[in-house]
Amino acid sequence: MLASTASRWLHTARLGIGEHYRIIQSNPLSRIGFRLIVVFLVIAAFAPWIAPHDPWEMVYDKDGQFASLRPPSWEFPLGTTHLGYDLFSQLVLAARTTLVIGAVSGIISILIGANIGLIAGYYGGKVDEVLMRLTDILYGMPFLPFIIVLIALFGRKLEFVILAIVLIIWRTSARVIRAQTISIKQRQFILAAKARGASDLRIIYRHILPNVLPLLLLYAAFNIAWSIITEASASFLGFGDGETISWGGMLYELWLSGKTRVAWWWFAAPSICIVLLVTSLVFVSRAYEEVANPRLRKR
């Protein structure tokens, strides 16, 4: 009995993965995006083994000269900073920071947003009213300024960056999922489940959730993309974690150093990585958008 349940569950899960694979493969852009994300994930996972130097280690070339502001070469593939830090090492190690921040804040925020949207939409009335007013309040918060205030007050720590992002970013997913929930809860099969005496929780998580899943995944991808953009922007302004290297932080150091005029390679590497990663996420999310929103499909 237990084994059959488990095997049935496994079967569903495998079907689910196959379905996602099909969605991603359905569109050339999302196919490219998905591959790039995998590449970034691999780099982030093996970052300490790939990076030849510490992020803030002054490097010397093979003649023993201090390697300051070197353009890309065989020895320093992405060049060095004015203080002689190896940009390739910084870039690889920063991938980890960026992906962790993106994944953690993206996932936590979609969990909060989805639950609030489902509960507000399903129960309606007072519950809905309270939760939506809460969402309105968050819509009144300017996002980056909020992060800046939080960091200025409590210090340049990774936790506060993530906390600030999560606190604000769930608002959009909550509104969208609520709207979808409201339209789904009036359908026949939900009314049938109610008539059978299914509990509210069961209806929400077994019957409604699977139907909002494409939308939920779409917003999960958006949330991750927005988190990455936001973290990079905050770091660029000097309100990121001071002790962890990140792509935005690399550009902040470039801006501070005043070498923006000369060191094009210092600008290029982190910028290209940020844009590539976020673009990949946007491309993948566009594939889910076509599922969540069928009128976008090619006719």
Partner 1 sequence: MLDYTLRRLVYTLITMFAVASILFVLFRMLPGEPTMQVISPAMDAAVQERMKEAFGLNEPLWKQYFIYLKNLVTLEWGRSFVSAQEVTDILSYRFWNTLLLMAAGMCLTLVLGIGLGIVMAWRRNSALDIGGTVVGLVFQATPPFITGLLLLIVLSYRLGIFPTGGMYPPGQRPDGLFDLLMMPAFWERIVLPTITVGAYYISTPMLIMRDSMLEVLGSDFIELAKAKGLKPRVVMLRHAARNALLGVVTISGIMIGFAVGGQVVVESLFSWPGMGQLMVESAASHDYPVAQGTFLMLAMLVISLNFFTDILYCYLDPRIKITAAGMN
What residues line the site for partner 1 (CB under 8 A)?
Answer: 29, 133, 136-137, 139-146, 148-154, 169, 171-172, 175-176, 179, 222-223, 225-226, 229, 232-233, 236-239, 248, 251, 255, 260-261, 264, 267, 271, 274-275, 278-279, 281-283, 286, 295-296, 298
Cβ proximity to partner 1, 19 vs 136, nearer residue: 136
- Taking the least distance from each CB to partner 1, the nearer of 47 and 273 is 273
DSSP 79-90: -B-TT-BBHHHH
Q: Nearer to partner 1 by C-beta: 23 or 176?
A: 176
Instruction: Note whether 207 and 193 are within 8 A (CB).
Output: yes
Tokens 């003649």 belong to 63
CB-nearer residue toward partner 1: 66 or 139 = 139
Minimum distance, C-beta of residue 139 to partner 1, in the bound complex (Å): 6
> Least distance from C-beta 175 to partner 1, angstroms?
5
- Closest CB 53 distance from partner 1, rounded Å: 25
Query: In the complex, what is the shortest distance from the CB of residue 226 to partner 1, in angstroms, rounded to a whole number?
Result: 5
Residue 285, sorted as left (phi over 0), alpha (psi -120 to 50) or beta, turns out to be alpha
d(Cα 163, Cα 273) in Å, to the nearest integer?
24
Q: Which residue has the tokens 């489902």?
A: 118
- Cα separation, 156 vs 2, in Å, equals 50
In whole angstroms, the minimum distance from the beta carbon of 258 to partner 1 comes to 12
- Report the residue number, 59 or 274, with the smaller CB distance to partner 1: 274
Instruction: Quote the least distance from Cβ 46 to partner 1, whole Å.
Output: 25
Query: How far apart, in whole angstroms, are the C-alpha atoms of residue 209 and residue 223?
Result: 18
Residue 293: other Cβ atoms inside 10 A: 12
The CA distances from residue 60 to 52, 57, 66, 75, 92, in Å, are 13, 10, 5, 10, 19
- Cα of first residue to Cα of last residue in the chain, in angstroms, is 45
CA distance 202 to 182: 16
Q: Which is nearer to partner 1, 58 or 276 (CB)?
A: 276
